[in-house]
A = this chain, B = another copy of it.
Amino acid sequence: MHPFQNDSPDGDDDKLHEECGVFAIHGNADAAKHTALGLHALQHRGQEAAGIVSLKNNHFNAHRDVGQVGDIFDKPQIMNRLEGHAAIGHNRYATTGETALRNVQPLFADLEFGGFALAHNGNLTNARKLRRELVHRGSLFQSTTDTEVVIHLMATAPANTVIERMIHALRQIEGAYSFVAMTSKEVIGVRDPLGVRPLVLGKLGDSYILASETCALDIIDAEFIRDVAPGEMVVIDDTGLRTLNPFPPTKQRFCVFEYIYFSRPDSVVDGTSVYEARKRIGMELARESHVPADTVIPVPDSGVPAALGYSQWAGIPFELGIIRNHYVGRTFIEPTDSIRHLGVKLKHNANLACIRGKRVVLVDDSIVRGTTSAKIVNMVRQAGAAEVHMRIAAPPTRHPCFYGIDTPSENELLAARYDVEGMAKLIGCDSLAFISFDGLYRAMGEEGRNAVEPQYCDACFTGDYPIRLIDQDDKETLSNQLSLLTESG
Protein backbone atom coordinates (compact mmCIF):
# COMPACT_ATOMS: atom_id res chain seq x y z
CA MET A 1 0.00 0.00 0.00
CA HIS A 2 1.09 3.58 -0.18
CA PRO A 3 -0.31 6.93 0.68
CA PHE A 4 -1.08 8.66 -2.53
CA GLN A 5 1.40 11.44 -2.09
CA ASN A 6 4.98 10.30 -1.78
CA ASP A 7 8.15 12.05 -0.91
CA SER A 8 11.62 10.71 -0.98
CA PRO A 9 12.99 11.09 2.53
CA ASP A 10 16.53 11.40 1.29
CA GLY A 11 17.40 13.24 -1.84
CA ASP A 12 20.82 11.65 -1.87
CA ASP A 13 19.53 8.16 -2.29
CA ASP A 14 18.82 7.82 -5.96
CA LYS A 15 17.02 4.46 -5.83
CA LEU A 16 13.56 3.14 -6.43
CA HIS A 17 12.06 1.99 -3.16
CA GLU A 18 9.94 -0.94 -2.28
CA GLU A 19 7.16 0.52 -0.25
CA CYS A 20 6.34 -2.19 2.22
CA GLY A 21 7.09 -5.47 3.87
CA VAL A 22 4.52 -7.67 5.59
CA PHE A 23 4.68 -10.50 8.12
CA ALA A 24 2.10 -12.64 9.90
CA ILE A 25 2.23 -15.56 12.30
CA HIS A 26 -0.48 -17.75 13.81
CA GLY A 27 -0.36 -20.14 16.74
CA ASN A 28 2.76 -19.00 18.54
CA ALA A 29 3.15 -17.87 22.15
CA ASP A 30 5.70 -15.25 21.09
CA ALA A 31 3.74 -14.07 18.08
CA ALA A 32 4.58 -10.37 18.40
CA LYS A 33 8.28 -10.95 19.11
CA HIS A 34 8.61 -13.17 16.06
CA THR A 35 6.80 -10.52 14.04
CA ALA A 36 9.21 -7.84 15.23
CA LEU A 37 12.15 -10.02 14.22
CA GLY A 38 10.59 -10.75 10.87
CA LEU A 39 10.01 -7.04 10.26
CA HIS A 40 13.65 -6.38 11.20
CA ALA A 41 14.74 -8.83 8.50
CA LEU A 42 12.40 -7.01 6.07
CA GLN A 43 13.59 -3.56 7.12
CA HIS A 44 15.00 -2.87 3.64
CA ARG A 45 11.42 -2.99 2.26
CA GLY A 46 10.29 -0.01 4.34
CA GLN A 47 12.39 1.96 6.75
CA GLU A 48 10.28 4.87 7.85
CA ALA A 49 7.55 3.30 9.98
CA ALA A 50 6.39 -0.02 11.33
CA GLY A 51 3.50 -1.52 13.20
CA ILE A 52 2.35 -4.75 14.81
CA VAL A 53 -1.16 -5.85 15.78
CA SER A 54 -1.45 -8.92 17.98
CA LEU A 55 -4.49 -10.92 18.98
CA LYS A 56 -5.37 -12.31 22.38
CA ASN A 57 -8.81 -13.76 23.10
CA ASN A 58 -10.70 -11.66 20.54
CA HIS A 59 -8.91 -8.53 21.71
CA PHE A 60 -6.36 -6.78 19.51
CA ASN A 61 -3.28 -4.90 20.70
CA ALA A 62 -1.43 -2.53 18.45
CA HIS A 63 1.74 -0.52 18.43
CA ARG A 64 2.64 1.61 15.43
CA ASP A 65 5.25 4.30 15.12
CA VAL A 66 7.62 6.03 12.76
CA GLY A 67 11.25 4.90 12.83
CA GLN A 68 13.09 1.65 12.44
CA VAL A 69 11.88 -1.70 13.76
CA GLY A 70 14.72 -2.06 16.25
CA ASP A 71 13.90 1.33 17.75
CA ILE A 72 10.11 1.00 17.75
CA PHE A 73 9.94 -2.42 19.38
CA ASP A 74 12.87 -2.38 21.77
CA LYS A 75 10.98 -1.56 24.95
CA PRO A 76 9.89 -4.61 26.96
CA GLN A 77 6.75 -2.83 28.18
CA ILE A 78 5.65 -2.35 24.58
CA MET A 79 6.33 -5.95 23.60
CA ASN A 80 4.64 -7.21 26.74
CA ARG A 81 1.45 -5.40 25.81
CA LEU A 82 1.46 -7.07 22.38
CA GLU A 83 0.18 -10.30 23.87
CA GLY A 84 -1.38 -13.21 22.07
CA HIS A 85 -0.80 -16.16 19.80
CA ALA A 86 -1.24 -14.42 16.48
CA ALA A 87 0.13 -11.19 15.05
CA ILE A 88 0.60 -9.32 11.80
CA GLY A 89 3.16 -6.63 11.06
CA HIS A 90 4.10 -4.09 8.46
CA ASN A 91 7.12 -2.00 7.46
CA ARG A 92 6.55 1.15 5.59
CA TYR A 93 8.57 3.46 3.40
CA ALA A 94 8.37 7.20 3.44
CA THR A 95 5.67 8.38 5.72
CA THR A 96 6.70 11.97 5.68
CA GLY A 97 5.10 15.02 7.14
CA GLU A 98 1.56 15.11 8.25
CA THR A 99 0.48 11.73 7.00
CA ALA A 100 2.77 10.04 9.46
CA LEU A 101 0.77 8.30 12.10
CA ARG A 102 -2.68 7.89 10.64
CA ASN A 103 -1.21 6.03 7.66
CA VAL A 104 1.03 3.60 9.53
CA GLN A 105 -0.16 0.02 9.06
CA PRO A 106 -1.50 -2.50 9.95
CA LEU A 107 -4.82 -0.71 9.67
CA PHE A 108 -7.45 -1.81 12.18
CA ALA A 109 -11.22 -1.55 12.21
CA ASP A 110 -14.00 -2.58 14.55
CA LEU A 111 -16.30 -4.21 12.02
CA GLU A 112 -19.69 -5.52 12.98
CA PHE A 113 -18.41 -9.06 13.16
CA GLY A 114 -15.37 -8.14 15.27
CA GLY A 115 -11.92 -6.68 14.90
CA PHE A 116 -10.03 -6.75 11.63
CA ALA A 117 -6.39 -5.85 10.98
CA LEU A 118 -4.85 -5.47 7.54
CA ALA A 119 -1.38 -4.85 6.13
CA HIS A 120 -0.56 -4.34 2.50
CA ASN A 121 2.45 -4.47 0.21
CA GLY A 122 1.62 -3.19 -3.24
CA ASN A 123 -0.65 -0.53 -4.66
CA LEU A 124 -4.26 -0.46 -5.78
CA THR A 125 -4.90 1.18 -9.11
CA ASN A 126 -8.59 1.91 -8.63
CA ALA A 127 -8.51 2.94 -4.98
CA ARG A 128 -9.39 6.58 -5.59
CA LYS A 129 -12.38 5.65 -7.67
CA LEU A 130 -13.62 3.22 -5.01
CA ARG A 131 -12.92 5.74 -2.27
CA ARG A 132 -15.01 8.37 -4.00
CA GLU A 133 -17.93 5.97 -4.25
CA LEU A 134 -17.59 4.88 -0.63
CA VAL A 135 -17.47 8.45 0.63
CA HIS A 136 -20.56 9.18 -1.42
CA ARG A 137 -22.33 6.36 0.43
CA GLY A 138 -21.28 7.76 3.82
CA SER A 139 -18.03 5.97 4.64
CA LEU A 140 -15.55 8.05 6.62
CA PHE A 141 -11.89 7.47 5.85
CA GLN A 142 -9.31 7.69 8.60
CA SER A 143 -6.21 7.55 6.46
CA THR A 144 -5.13 8.51 2.98
CA THR A 145 -3.92 5.01 2.15
CA ASP A 146 -5.36 2.98 -0.70
CA THR A 147 -5.53 0.01 1.67
CA GLU A 148 -8.39 1.49 3.66
CA VAL A 149 -10.86 1.02 0.79
CA VAL A 150 -10.63 -2.73 1.37
CA ILE A 151 -11.88 -2.34 4.92
CA HIS A 152 -14.78 -0.08 3.95
CA LEU A 153 -15.73 -2.45 1.15
CA MET A 154 -15.80 -5.24 3.73
CA ALA A 155 -17.80 -3.14 6.24
CA THR A 156 -20.48 -2.47 3.66
CA ALA A 157 -20.37 -5.88 1.94
CA PRO A 158 -23.65 -7.78 1.40
CA ALA A 159 -22.14 -10.89 2.98
CA ASN A 160 -21.97 -12.60 6.32
CA THR A 161 -18.64 -14.18 7.09
CA VAL A 162 -15.38 -12.29 7.18
CA ILE A 163 -13.99 -14.41 4.39
CA GLU A 164 -17.00 -13.74 2.18
CA ARG A 165 -16.75 -10.03 2.92
CA MET A 166 -13.06 -10.02 2.12
CA ILE A 167 -13.57 -11.87 -1.16
CA HIS A 168 -16.32 -9.41 -1.99
CA ALA A 169 -13.83 -6.61 -1.47
CA LEU A 170 -10.96 -8.32 -3.33
CA ARG A 171 -13.14 -8.72 -6.39
CA GLN A 172 -13.67 -4.98 -6.56
CA ILE A 173 -10.10 -3.81 -6.17
CA GLU A 174 -7.48 -3.80 -8.90
CA GLY A 175 -3.76 -3.47 -8.57
CA ALA A 176 -0.77 -5.20 -7.09
CA TYR A 177 -1.09 -6.52 -3.58
CA SER A 178 0.17 -8.98 -1.07
CA PHE A 179 -2.12 -8.67 1.95
CA VAL A 180 -1.82 -10.18 5.39
CA ALA A 181 -4.89 -9.82 7.57
CA MET A 182 -6.10 -10.97 10.96
CA THR A 183 -9.55 -11.51 12.41
CA SER A 184 -10.38 -12.80 15.87
CA LYS A 185 -10.07 -16.32 14.45
CA GLU A 186 -7.96 -16.29 11.32
CA VAL A 187 -4.75 -15.07 9.83
CA ILE A 188 -5.18 -14.50 6.10
CA GLY A 189 -2.76 -13.99 3.23
CA VAL A 190 -3.63 -12.98 -0.35
CA ARG A 191 -1.65 -12.23 -3.48
CA ASP A 192 -3.15 -10.43 -6.44
CA PRO A 193 -3.99 -12.59 -9.50
CA LEU A 194 -0.75 -11.66 -11.30
CA GLY A 195 1.37 -12.16 -8.20
CA VAL A 196 3.22 -8.90 -8.77
CA ARG A 197 4.50 -8.62 -5.20
CA PRO A 198 6.02 -11.58 -3.30
CA LEU A 199 4.54 -13.49 -0.36
CA VAL A 200 5.91 -16.70 1.08
CA LEU A 201 4.61 -19.29 3.48
CA GLY A 202 6.72 -20.79 6.25
CA LYS A 203 6.37 -22.88 9.33
CA LEU A 204 7.96 -22.81 12.77
CA GLY A 205 6.89 -25.82 14.81
CA ASP A 206 3.10 -25.73 14.48
CA SER A 207 2.95 -22.04 13.63
CA TYR A 208 2.27 -20.90 10.10
CA ILE A 209 4.03 -17.75 8.93
CA LEU A 210 3.47 -15.40 6.02
CA ALA A 211 6.21 -12.99 4.97
CA SER A 212 7.27 -10.86 2.04
CA GLU A 213 10.59 -12.68 1.74
CA THR A 214 12.31 -15.83 2.94
CA CYS A 215 14.93 -13.85 4.87
CA ALA A 216 12.16 -13.15 7.40
CA LEU A 217 11.75 -16.90 7.88
CA ASP A 218 15.50 -17.39 8.28
CA ILE A 219 15.86 -14.88 11.11
CA ILE A 220 13.48 -16.90 13.28
CA ASP A 221 14.75 -20.29 12.10
CA ALA A 222 11.44 -21.04 10.39
CA GLU A 223 11.15 -23.47 7.54
CA PHE A 224 10.27 -22.20 4.07
CA ILE A 225 7.23 -24.08 2.71
CA ARG A 226 6.36 -22.43 -0.58
CA ASP A 227 5.44 -19.18 -2.26
CA VAL A 228 1.81 -18.19 -1.87
CA ALA A 229 0.51 -18.57 -5.42
CA PRO A 230 -0.66 -15.59 -7.50
CA GLY A 231 -4.37 -15.14 -6.85
CA GLU A 232 -4.28 -17.46 -3.86
CA MET A 233 -6.00 -16.67 -0.56
CA VAL A 234 -4.53 -18.58 2.35
CA VAL A 235 -6.60 -18.87 5.53
CA ILE A 236 -4.91 -20.06 8.72
CA ASP A 237 -6.80 -20.88 11.89
CA ASP A 238 -6.63 -23.34 14.76
CA THR A 239 -7.65 -26.16 12.44
CA GLY A 240 -4.77 -25.54 10.08
CA LEU A 241 -4.31 -23.94 6.68
CA ARG A 242 -6.70 -23.89 3.74
CA THR A 243 -6.50 -22.31 0.31
CA LEU A 244 -9.22 -20.36 -1.48
CA ASN A 245 -9.07 -19.15 -5.05
CA PRO A 246 -11.30 -16.12 -5.41
CA PHE A 247 -10.11 -15.24 -8.90
CA PRO A 248 -10.12 -16.88 -12.33
CA PRO A 249 -6.67 -18.25 -13.23
CA THR A 250 -4.24 -15.88 -14.98
CA LYS A 251 -0.64 -15.98 -16.15
CA GLN A 252 1.63 -14.62 -13.42
CA ARG A 253 3.69 -11.45 -13.82
CA PHE A 254 6.08 -11.18 -10.91
CA CYS A 255 7.97 -7.89 -10.53
CA VAL A 256 11.40 -8.40 -12.05
CA PHE A 257 12.80 -5.47 -10.07
CA GLU A 258 12.41 -7.56 -6.91
CA TYR A 259 15.30 -9.62 -8.31
CA ILE A 260 17.27 -6.61 -9.50
CA TYR A 261 17.16 -4.52 -6.34
CA PHE A 262 14.26 -4.72 -3.88
CA SER A 263 14.59 -8.15 -2.31
CA ARG A 264 17.44 -9.10 -0.04
CA PRO A 265 20.17 -11.13 -1.78
CA ASP A 266 19.75 -13.98 0.69
CA SER A 267 16.04 -14.35 -0.14
CA VAL A 268 14.70 -16.96 -2.50
CA VAL A 269 11.75 -15.96 -4.69
CA ASP A 270 9.80 -18.45 -6.75
CA GLY A 271 12.58 -20.97 -6.39
CA THR A 272 15.31 -18.61 -7.51
CA SER A 273 18.04 -17.20 -5.25
CA VAL A 274 18.06 -13.43 -5.54
CA TYR A 275 21.83 -13.41 -5.10
CA GLU A 276 22.31 -15.92 -7.89
CA ALA A 277 19.93 -14.03 -10.16
CA ARG A 278 21.93 -10.84 -9.60
CA LYS A 279 25.22 -12.60 -10.25
CA ARG A 280 23.79 -14.03 -13.50
CA ILE A 281 22.65 -10.56 -14.52
CA GLY A 282 26.23 -9.39 -13.93
CA MET A 283 27.51 -12.23 -16.07
CA GLU A 284 25.09 -11.46 -18.90
CA LEU A 285 26.10 -7.82 -18.60
CA ALA A 286 29.77 -8.75 -18.94
CA ARG A 287 28.95 -10.93 -21.91
CA GLU A 288 26.89 -8.22 -23.60
CA SER A 289 29.06 -5.22 -22.96
CA HIS A 290 32.52 -6.35 -22.07
CA VAL A 291 35.25 -3.73 -21.98
CA PRO A 292 38.97 -4.13 -21.29
CA ALA A 293 39.63 -3.08 -17.71
CA ASP A 294 41.83 -3.61 -14.66
CA THR A 295 39.24 -3.87 -11.95
CA VAL A 296 35.51 -4.37 -11.36
CA ILE A 297 34.15 -2.17 -8.62
CA PRO A 298 30.59 -2.31 -7.26
CA VAL A 299 28.61 0.67 -6.07
CA PRO A 300 27.95 -0.74 -2.61
CA ASP A 301 25.94 -2.40 -1.34
CA SER A 302 23.36 -3.14 -4.02
CA GLY A 303 25.81 -3.44 -6.90
CA VAL A 304 27.95 -6.11 -5.25
CA PRO A 305 26.41 -9.38 -6.54
CA ALA A 306 26.19 -8.17 -10.14
CA ALA A 307 29.77 -6.92 -9.91
CA LEU A 308 30.91 -10.31 -8.64
CA GLY A 309 29.11 -11.96 -11.57
CA TYR A 310 30.69 -9.49 -13.97
CA SER A 311 34.12 -10.06 -12.45
CA GLN A 312 33.81 -13.84 -12.57
CA TRP A 313 32.61 -13.89 -16.19
CA ALA A 314 35.14 -11.32 -17.38
CA GLY A 315 38.05 -12.57 -15.29
CA ILE A 316 38.77 -9.05 -14.07
CA PRO A 317 39.54 -8.70 -10.33
CA PHE A 318 36.70 -7.59 -8.08
CA GLU A 319 37.76 -4.93 -5.56
CA LEU A 320 36.00 -2.82 -2.93
CA GLY A 321 36.99 0.39 -4.64
CA ILE A 322 34.21 2.33 -2.97
CA ILE A 323 33.83 2.04 0.79
CA ARG A 324 30.39 2.59 2.25
CA ASN A 325 29.89 4.20 5.65
CA HIS A 326 26.89 2.43 7.16
CA TYR A 327 26.31 4.95 9.96
CA VAL A 328 23.41 7.38 9.63
CA GLY A 329 23.81 8.36 6.03
CA ARG A 330 21.37 11.17 5.52
CA THR A 331 22.60 14.71 5.09
CA PHE A 332 22.82 15.89 8.66
CA ILE A 333 24.83 19.03 8.03
CA GLU A 334 23.40 21.95 6.08
CA PRO A 335 25.62 22.38 3.04
CA THR A 336 27.46 25.64 2.65
CA ASP A 337 29.60 27.02 -0.13
CA SER A 338 32.65 25.40 1.32
CA ILE A 339 30.96 22.06 1.93
CA ARG A 340 29.74 20.27 -1.18
CA HIS A 341 29.02 16.75 -2.45
CA LEU A 342 27.74 16.02 1.00
CA GLY A 343 25.12 13.51 0.09
CA VAL A 344 27.32 11.07 -1.66
CA LYS A 345 30.40 11.63 0.47
CA LEU A 346 28.56 10.86 3.68
CA LYS A 347 27.89 7.36 2.45
CA HIS A 348 30.71 6.57 0.04
CA ASN A 349 34.43 7.11 -0.17
CA ALA A 350 36.78 6.12 -2.94
CA ASN A 351 39.37 3.56 -1.90
CA LEU A 352 42.39 5.07 -3.62
CA ALA A 353 44.57 1.99 -3.38
CA CYS A 354 42.47 0.06 -5.88
CA ILE A 355 41.47 2.92 -8.18
CA ARG A 356 44.50 5.06 -8.86
CA GLY A 357 45.73 4.52 -12.40
CA LYS A 358 43.25 1.74 -13.07
CA ARG A 359 40.67 1.21 -15.81
CA VAL A 360 37.55 0.75 -13.74
CA VAL A 361 34.30 -1.08 -14.50
CA LEU A 362 31.77 0.40 -12.11
CA VAL A 363 28.71 -1.83 -11.58
CA ASP A 364 25.44 -0.52 -10.17
CA ASP A 365 22.00 -2.09 -10.05
CA SER A 366 20.08 0.68 -11.78
CA ILE A 367 19.97 4.36 -12.69
CA VAL A 368 16.98 6.42 -11.64
CA ARG A 369 17.61 10.17 -11.68
CA GLY A 370 21.30 9.72 -12.33
CA THR A 371 22.40 12.27 -9.75
CA THR A 372 24.22 9.83 -7.52
CA SER A 373 25.83 8.07 -10.46
CA ALA A 374 27.33 11.34 -11.65
CA LYS A 375 28.75 12.08 -8.21
CA ILE A 376 30.22 8.62 -7.85
CA VAL A 377 31.83 8.68 -11.26
CA ASN A 378 33.32 12.03 -10.39
CA MET A 379 34.62 10.67 -7.07
CA VAL A 380 36.20 7.71 -8.82
CA ARG A 381 37.84 9.97 -11.38
CA GLN A 382 39.21 12.26 -8.68
CA ALA A 383 40.68 9.17 -7.05
CA GLY A 384 42.76 8.76 -10.17
CA ALA A 385 40.91 6.20 -12.30
CA ALA A 386 42.32 5.99 -15.85
CA GLU A 387 38.93 5.07 -17.31
CA VAL A 388 35.46 4.66 -15.83
CA HIS A 389 33.04 2.29 -17.53
CA MET A 390 29.63 2.12 -15.99
CA ARG A 391 27.62 -1.10 -16.28
CA ILE A 392 24.04 -1.27 -15.08
CA ALA A 393 22.38 -4.51 -13.98
CA ALA A 394 18.97 -3.40 -15.25
CA PRO A 395 17.56 -1.95 -18.46
CA PRO A 396 17.02 1.83 -18.54
CA THR A 397 14.26 2.83 -16.09
CA ARG A 398 11.89 4.87 -18.26
CA HIS A 399 8.44 4.63 -16.68
CA PRO A 400 6.94 5.10 -13.24
CA CYS A 401 5.64 2.11 -11.30
CA PHE A 402 2.02 2.11 -10.10
CA TYR A 403 2.22 -1.23 -8.36
CA GLY A 404 3.81 -0.41 -5.04
CA ILE A 405 7.20 1.03 -5.85
CA ASP A 406 8.07 4.62 -5.12
CA THR A 407 9.25 6.11 -8.41
CA PRO A 408 9.87 9.70 -9.34
CA SER A 409 7.61 11.12 -12.00
CA GLU A 410 8.54 10.25 -15.57
CA ASN A 411 10.24 13.55 -16.29
CA GLU A 412 12.68 12.98 -13.45
CA LEU A 413 13.80 9.62 -14.82
CA LEU A 414 17.09 10.11 -16.65
CA ALA A 415 16.38 7.31 -19.11
CA ALA A 416 13.07 8.88 -20.06
CA ARG A 417 14.85 12.03 -21.17
CA TYR A 418 18.12 10.83 -22.71
CA ASP A 419 19.44 7.97 -24.77
CA VAL A 420 22.34 5.91 -23.46
CA GLU A 421 24.92 8.14 -25.07
CA GLY A 422 23.33 11.24 -23.58
CA MET A 423 23.18 9.59 -20.20
CA ALA A 424 26.86 8.62 -20.36
CA LYS A 425 27.76 12.20 -21.14
CA LEU A 426 25.74 13.57 -18.25
CA ILE A 427 27.10 11.02 -15.82
CA GLY A 428 30.61 11.62 -17.06
CA CYS A 429 31.72 8.03 -17.66
CA ASP A 430 33.80 6.80 -20.57
CA SER A 431 31.20 4.21 -21.50
CA LEU A 432 27.81 3.22 -20.21
CA ALA A 433 25.85 0.04 -20.83
CA PHE A 434 22.63 -1.42 -19.53
CA ILE A 435 21.64 -5.05 -19.67
CA SER A 436 19.28 -5.81 -22.58
CA PHE A 437 15.72 -7.03 -22.06
CA ASP A 438 16.62 -10.46 -23.38
CA GLY A 439 19.81 -10.52 -21.31
CA LEU A 440 17.77 -9.80 -18.22
CA TYR A 441 15.27 -12.53 -19.03
CA ARG A 442 18.07 -14.98 -19.83
CA ALA A 443 19.56 -14.27 -16.42
CA MET A 444 16.14 -15.19 -15.01
CA GLY A 445 16.35 -18.57 -16.77
CA GLU A 446 14.12 -17.72 -19.73
CA GLU A 447 15.15 -17.84 -23.32
CA GLY A 448 14.38 -14.19 -23.65
CA ARG A 449 11.50 -11.80 -23.09
CA ASN A 450 8.23 -13.16 -24.45
CA ALA A 451 6.89 -9.98 -26.01
CA VAL A 452 3.35 -11.32 -26.32
CA GLU A 453 3.03 -12.70 -22.88
CA PRO A 454 5.93 -11.39 -20.84
CA GLN A 455 6.98 -13.64 -17.98
CA TYR A 456 7.49 -10.74 -15.55
CA CYS A 457 6.15 -7.31 -14.85
CA ASP A 458 8.76 -4.98 -16.31
CA ALA A 459 6.57 -1.94 -16.81
CA CYS A 460 9.18 0.44 -15.38
CA PHE A 461 11.47 -0.51 -18.27
CA THR A 462 8.95 -1.21 -21.03
CA GLY A 463 5.84 0.77 -20.16
CA ASP A 464 3.88 -2.46 -20.63
CA TYR A 465 1.50 -2.22 -17.65
CA PRO A 466 -0.21 -5.56 -16.97
CA ILE A 467 -2.95 -4.10 -14.71
CA ARG A 468 -5.28 -1.29 -15.70
CA LEU A 469 -4.39 2.16 -14.33
CA ILE A 470 -7.92 3.27 -13.61
CA ASP A 471 -7.19 6.15 -11.23
CA GLN A 472 -4.28 7.26 -13.38
CA ASP A 473 -6.47 7.44 -16.49
CA ASP A 474 -9.17 9.48 -14.77
CA LYS A 475 -7.69 12.95 -14.59
CA GLU A 476 -10.46 14.21 -12.33
CA THR A 477 -10.09 11.41 -9.83
CA LEU A 478 -6.37 11.91 -9.73
CA SER A 479 -6.49 15.62 -9.03
CA ASN A 480 -8.94 15.19 -6.19
CA GLN A 481 -7.39 15.76 -2.77
CA LEU A 482 -7.83 12.74 -0.53
CA SER A 483 -8.00 14.57 2.76
CA LEU A 484 -8.56 18.19 3.62
CA LEU A 485 -6.79 17.76 6.93
CA THR A 486 -3.15 18.33 7.77
CA GLU A 487 -2.31 17.12 11.23
CA SER A 488 0.88 18.34 12.83
CA GLY A 489 2.67 15.79 14.94
| A152 interfacial by beta-carbon distance below 8 Å | yes
Chain B residue contacts of A301, Cβ below 8 A: 326
Residue of B nearest to A76 (CB): B334
Quick one: which of B34, B135, B157, B338 contacts A112, CB cutoff 8 A?
Answer: B135
Within 8 A of B (CB), among A95-151: 108-112, 114-115, 135-142, 151
Chain B residue contacts of A140, Cβ below 8 A: 109-111, 139-140, 142, 151-152, 155
Question: In whole angstroms, how far apart are the Cα atoms of A215 and B352 in the complex?
Answer: 11
Given A138-B152, A155-B140, A327-B68, A318:B318 Cβ within 8 A:
yes
Quick one: which of B74, B345, B485 contacts A110, CB cutoff 8 A?
Answer: B485
Q: Is the CB of A487 within 8 A of B351?
A: no
Given A43-B325, A140-B140, A140-B142, A332:B70 Cβ within 8 A:
yes
Chain B residue contacts of A151, Cβ below 8 A: 140
| 1/0 contact string of A228-266 vs chain B (CB within 8 Å) | 000000000000000000000000000000000000111
Residue of B nearest to A108 (CB): B485
Instruction: Write the residues of chain A forming the contact surface with B, with a CB cutoff of 8 angstroms.
Output: 28-30, 33-34, 36-37, 40-41, 43-44, 47, 53, 58-64, 68-71, 73-74, 76, 78-79, 81-82, 108-112, 114-115, 135-142, 151-152, 155-157, 184, 205, 215, 218-221, 264-266, 268, 273, 275-276, 301, 304-305, 308, 312, 317-320, 323, 325-330, 332-334, 336, 338-342, 345-346, 349-354, 482-488
Given A60-B485, A81-B486, A110:B141 Cβ within 8 A:
yes
Chain B residue contacts of A28, Cβ below 8 A: 338
Residue of B nearest to A264 (CB): B323
Given A318-B308, A338-B29, A59:B332 Cβ within 8 A:
no
Q: Is the CB of B219 within 8 A of A345?
A: yes
Question: In whole angstroms, how far apart are the Cα atoms of A53 and B71 in the complex?
Answer: 29
Q: Give this chain's copy count.
A: 4
Question: In whole angstroms, how far apart are the Cα atoms of A112 and B138 in the complex?
Answer: 8
Given A308-B320, A327-B68, A486-B60, A349:B110 Cβ within 8 A:
no
Chain B residue contacts of A333, Cβ below 8 A: 33, 36-37, 73-74, 79
Q: Is the CB of A323 within 8 A of B266?
A: yes
Chain B residue contacts of A152, Cβ below 8 A: 138, 140
Chain B residue contacts of A319, Cβ below 8 A: 308
Return A305 CB to nearest CB of chain B, in Å. 7
Chain B residue contacts of A221, Cβ below 8 A: 340-341, 345
Return A437 CB to nearest CB of chain B, in Å. 24
Main secondary structure of the interface of A (DSSP, over half): mixed
7 A–B contacts, CB within 8 A, in A order = A29-B338, A37-B333, A40-B328, A62-B486, A82-B488, A110-B140, A140-B155
Chain B residue contacts of A336, Cβ below 8 A: 30, 33
Return A239 CB to nearest CB of chain B, in Å. 22
Quick one: which of B111, B157, B219, B327 contacts A69, CB cutoff 8 A?
Answer: B327
Return A365 CB to nearest CB of chain B, in Å. 14
Question: In whole angstroms, how far apart are the Cα atoms of A33 and B28 in the complex?
Answer: 43
Q: Is the CB of B353 within 8 A of A268?
A: yes
Question: In whole angstroms, how far apart are the Cα atoms of A242 and B282 in the complex?
Answer: 52
Return A128 CB to nearest CB of chain B, in Å. 13
Q: A205-B338, A221-B340 provided; 15 other pairs, C-beta below 8 A?
A: A29-B338, A37-B339, A40-B327, A60-B486, A63-B487, A70-B327, A79-B333, A81-B486, A110-B141, A110-B484, A138-B155, A142-B142, A218-B349, A219-B349, A275-B354
Residue of B nearest to A53 (CB): B485
Chain B residue contacts of A346, Cβ below 8 A: 37, 40, 70, 219
Q: Is the CB of B332 within 8 A of A36?
A: yes
Return A408 CB to nearest CB of chain B, in Å. 24
Interface centre among A82, A319, A326, A484 (most CB of B within 10 A): A484
Quick one: which of B37, B312, B485 contacts A317, CB cutoff 8 A?
Answer: B312
Given A70-B332, A114-B484, A352:B33 Cβ within 8 A:
no
Q: Is the CB of A138 within 8 A of B114?
A: no
Question: In whole angstroms, how far apart are the Cα atoms of A41 and B327 in the complex?
Answer: 9
